[in-house]
């Protein structure tokens, strides 16, 4: 007999569950109140009795700390209960274990576990629980999951999915094959949110395999545009926090994020899943930190801007070389060369009667080769002095010890990072590939190799304490940057991105290159694109083909290509599209320009016509809902109901990096896409779409 056979029975059961949750919340509120009152009583007692015995004070302090900890636990429980009240669960499977005497177990799946202490049963299972994994991985029929006791086999006889909002069941879908598809189509057709949301209700089988992968030390996720890779990576973090509870916490995880806006955009996901937000940083911050923040440097955004606005072939050549494995190989050879040539031993006259021969000092430098070169002087000094004590029964003063240490340090000629780095390019026969900018500013591609050299000479002195590293937009980092990351963070890693969405094609990395940089790594692919309609995806594929991409068949309007006589008319046309957007029912519009300069100027021009325009720059720290004008670089990772890409003419979009930027821009659109241009269209616009020429008065 099926438990809750009909939709009406399911709705009645939902209200029963909500009633039990509400009762638990009331009991929890009472418990919280009691803890607060008890703590206040302790506090009042201590303050009103100044002559309490010290032992009693210690005892009371321990009691206060215990009550406080228990209170925090109860408050956390209350918070979780509040989260599940609106949407207690979203799915159900009926599972019968394959053993004698087993009965069918209805398993309701939600964001959090809910255990009913009265009936002593799990009414709701956490989506991350091993048994819940079957909901994502299996249809009706044979199924298996791994429990702490081993592999459990059985049969799934029923599979349902629900849409519950504010405690009301809007609909229920029951199917062996389309349970995910129907819900997925409904979710994909909805409007974009102001921030990324959790996707536990629509996790697909290939996504679930990535989330639950516990074996890979370095997991590299190659995901096509719109595949949900960032969201999946965050769900993976939530899963690991659940399964490894006690061994890892949110503070032990670090995200390398492309910018602050993106960090804000994804900030809701983990809290929605019941986990605390995790620390974030940038690649520049990490690399500059290694170098003790001594140098001014060009950041990644500035590099991309230069490539887009005023690039030179020499600059591109420097980027390409410093993004190659040949470059890393030469650096490693140079470090070995330094080992053999940069230490010039000399005798040290320690006292009137004792001179330490150069040959002996040289011998000790080789003896301590397990130490980084600049860290050997301390160990060498201690060893030499210990040997002298044994041989000559000689006690060294502190000043004599410091003298010896100082003299040994002077023997190593590689004590200036920047000078050594310059010498490397001379040594390799390519002095022209190193260039300092005005005010001795480093180019962005030089930051990582300089840090790499520093680590080779000084070692990784500071322990990071990071147990899991998450790197997003993996394609925008070079192999030498990954080599530095390897030295700094020996922990497990989740690395994700899309090689087709690089904003710097001259210095980007593929999944295979990243695996080579780490020497290990499991590559998993996300090939299905969920964000855009079939028509938008098809259009983007004609700009830059990705043969691995599989579009989800969700149809919508074909992209529109609009030609205008001049820039003024184009801006008026864009304003007209904005006016249509405001009547459309969509909630977010992204106007994505090639460069930030173009975005800034366009936002100022549009504000003459309408005031509700938000300009998103590389200095912005938060994502704004509504109408946003920004650059392709800043738009990467974001999504909008509707996207306008302006100035798509032949002069503005003509190079390899321009093509990448255009691809990034058009793949931000979920439901509607419009490209505008004046003059001659860019060659990157598919020929079949260059047919639409509208009179300006039809739009304005």
pLDDT > 50? residue 696: no
Distance CA 591, CA 471 (A): 27
Lowest-confidence segment of 75-89, 168-182, 289-303 by average pLDDT: 168-182
Question: What is the per-residue DSSP string for 633-673?
Answer: HHHTT--EEEEEE---BTTTS-SHHHHHHHHHHHTTEEEEE
CA distance 189 to 182: 11
Band the pLDDT of 179: cuts 50, 70, 90.
very low
CA distance 491 to 410: 36
Q: Is 689 exposed, middle or buried (0-12, 13-18, 19+ CB in 10 A)?
A: middle
Lowest mean pLDDT among 481-490, 636-645, 689-698: 689-698
Tell me: the pLDDT tens digits for 118-170?
889 999 999 999 999 999 999 999 999 998 889 999 999 999 999 899 999 99
Q: Which residue would you say has higher pLDDT here, 590 or 459?
A: 590
According to the model, what pLDDT value does residue 397 have?
81
Match 């002195």 to its residue by tokens: 461
Residue 215 has a pLDDT of: 93
Cβ atoms of 237 and 275 closer than 8 Å: yes
Predicted pLDDT at 43: 65
Is it the case that residue 388 has pLDDT exceeding 90?
A: no
Tens of pLDDT, residue by residue over 569-601, are 999 999 999 999 999 999 999 999 999 999 999
Q: How high is the pLDDT of residue 37?
A: 64
Sign, CA torsion 364/365/371/376: positive
pLDDT tens for each residue of 305-324? 999 998 789 999 999 999 99
User: Does residue 695 register a pLDDT over 60?
Assistant: no
* Residue 134 confidence (pLDDT): 95
391-432 pLDDT, tens digit per residue, is 777 777 888 888 888 999 999 998 899 999 999 999 999 999
pLDDT grade for 387, boundaries at 50, 70 and 90: confident
Per residue in 516-569, pLDDT (tens digit) is 999 999 999 999 999 999 999 999 999 999 999 998 888 999 999 999 999 999
- Report the alpha-carbon distance of residue 469 to residue 280 in Å, rounded: 10
- 């005005």: which residue's tokens? 438
What pLDDT sits at residue 386? 85
pLDDT of 275:
86
Residues 515, 218: contact at Cβ < 8 Å? yes
What pLDDT digit, counting tens, does each position of 236-261 carry?
999 999 999 989 999 999 999 988 88
Dist CA 664 CA 595 (whole Å): 12
Contacting residues for 663 by C-beta, under 8 A, at least 6 apart = 225, 500, 501, 540, 543, 544
3-state secondary structure of 352: coil
Residues 453 and 432: their CA atoms lie apart, in Å, by: 19
pLDDT in tens, 6-19: 889 999 999 999 99
Q: Is the pLDDT of residue 477 over 70?
A: yes
User: Counting beta carbons within 10 angstroms of the beta carbon of residue 191, is it exposed (0 to 12), middle (13 to 18) or buried (19 or more)?
Assistant: middle
* Residue 290 neighbours by CB under 8 Å, 6+ apart: 451, 454, 455, 484, 488
**Rounded to an integer, what distance in angstroms lies between the CA atom of residue 384 and that of residue 170?**
80
Identify the pLDDT of residue 196: 82
Q: How many CB atoms lie within 10 A of CB 121?
A: 9
Per-residue model confidence (pLDDT) at position 178: 46
Tell me what the mean pLDDT of segment 439-443 comes to.
94
Buried/exposed code over 626-662 (b: 16+ C-beta within 10 A; e: otherwise): ebbbbbbbbbbbbbbbbbbbbbbbeebbeeebbbbbb
What is the pLDDT confidence band of residue 610, given thresholds at 50, 70 and 90?
A: confident
- Would you tell me how many other CB atoms lie within 10 Å of the CB of residue 229? 25
CB 440, CB 387: distance < 8 Å? no
**Model pTM score:** 0.88
Residue 698 is predicted with a pLDDT of: 47
């Amino acid at each position: 007999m099926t438990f809750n056979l009909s939709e009406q029975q399911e709705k009645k059961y939902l209200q029963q569950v909500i009633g039990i949750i509400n009762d638990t919340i009331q009991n929890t509120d009472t418990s919280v109140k009691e803890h607060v009152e008890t703590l206040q009583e302790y506090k009042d007692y201590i303050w009103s009795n100044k002559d309490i015995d010290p032992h009693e004070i210690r005892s009371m302090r321990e009691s206060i700390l215990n009550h406080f900890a228990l209170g925090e636990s109860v408050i956390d429980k209350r918070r979780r209960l509040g989260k599940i009240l609106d949407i207690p669960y979203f799915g159900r499977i009926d599972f019968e274990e394959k053993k004698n005497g087993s009965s069918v177990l209805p398993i309701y799946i939600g964001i959090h576990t809910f255990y009913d202490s009265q009936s002593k049963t799990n009414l709701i299972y956490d989506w991350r629980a091993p048994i819940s994994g079957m909901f994502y991985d299996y249809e009706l029929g044979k199924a298996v999951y791994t429990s702490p006791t081993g592999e459990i086999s059985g049969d799934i006889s029923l599979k349902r999915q629900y849409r519950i909002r504010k405690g009301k069941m809007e609909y229920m879908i029951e199917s062996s094959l389309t349970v995910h598809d129907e819900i997925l189509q409904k979710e994909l057709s909805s409007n974009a949110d102001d921030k990324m949301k959790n996707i536990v209700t629509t996790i697909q089988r290939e996504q679930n395999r990535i989330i639950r992968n516990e074996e890979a030390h370095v997991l590299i996720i190659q995901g096509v545009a719109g595949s949900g890779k960032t969201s999946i990576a965050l769900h993976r973090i939530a899963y690991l926090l659940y399964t490894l509870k006690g061994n890892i916490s949110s503070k032990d995880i670090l995200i390398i994020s492309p910018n602050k806006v993106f960090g804000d955009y994804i900030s809701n996901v983990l809290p929605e899943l019941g986990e605390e937000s995790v620390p974030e940083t940038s690649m520049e911050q990490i690399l500059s930190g290694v170098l003790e923040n001594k140098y001014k440097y060009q950041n990644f955004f500035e590099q991309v801007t230069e490539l887009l606005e005023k690039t030179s072939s020499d600059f591109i050549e420097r980027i390409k070389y410093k993004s190659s494995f040949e470059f890393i190989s030469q650096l490693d050879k140079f470090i070995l060369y330094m080992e053999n040539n940069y230490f010039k031993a000399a005798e040290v006259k320690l006292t009137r009667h004792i001179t330490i021969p150069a040959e002996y000092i040289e011998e000790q430098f080789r003896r301590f080769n397990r130490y980084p070169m600049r860290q050997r002087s301390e160990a060498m000094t201690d060893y030499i002095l210990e040997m002298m004590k044994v041989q000559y029964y000689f006690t060294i003063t502190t000043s004599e010890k410091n003298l010896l240490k100082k003299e040994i340090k002077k023997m190593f000629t590689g004590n200036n990072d920047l000078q050594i780095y310059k010498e490397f390019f001379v040594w390799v026969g390519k002095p022209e590939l190193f260039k300092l900018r005005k005010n001795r500013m480093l180019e962005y591609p030089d930051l990582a190799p300089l840090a790499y050299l520093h680590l080779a000479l000084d070692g990784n002195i500071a322990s990071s304490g990071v147990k899991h590293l998450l790197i997003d937009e993996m394609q925008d980092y070079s192999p030498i940057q990954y080599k530095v990351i390897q030295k700094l963070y020996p922990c497990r890693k989740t690395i994700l991105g899309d090689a087709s969405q690089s904003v710097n094609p001259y210095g980007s990395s593929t999944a295979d290159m990243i695996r080579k940089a780490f020497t290990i790594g499991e590559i998993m692919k996300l090939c299905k694109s969920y964000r855009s309609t079939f028509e938008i995806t098809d259009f983007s594929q004609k700009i830059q083909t990705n043969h691995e991409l599989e579009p989800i068949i969700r149809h919508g309007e074909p992209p529109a290509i609009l030609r205008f006589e001049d820039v003024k008319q184009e801006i008026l046309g864009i304003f007209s599209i904005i006016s249509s957007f405001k009547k459309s029912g969509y909630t977010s519009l992204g106007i994505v320009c090639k460069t930030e300069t173009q975005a800034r100027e366009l936002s100022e021009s549009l504000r003459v016509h309408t005031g509700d325009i938000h300009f998103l720059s590389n200095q912005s720290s938060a994502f704004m809902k509504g109408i946003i004008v920004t650059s392709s670089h800043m738009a990467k990772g974001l999504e909008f109901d509707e996207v306008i890409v302006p100035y798509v003419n032949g002069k503005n979009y003509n190079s390899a990096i321009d093509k990448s930027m255009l691809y990034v821009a058009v793949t931000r659109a979920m439901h509607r896409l419009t490209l505008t241009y004046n003059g001659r269209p860019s060659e990157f616009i598919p020929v079949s779409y260059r047919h639409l020429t509208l009179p300006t008065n039809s739009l304005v």
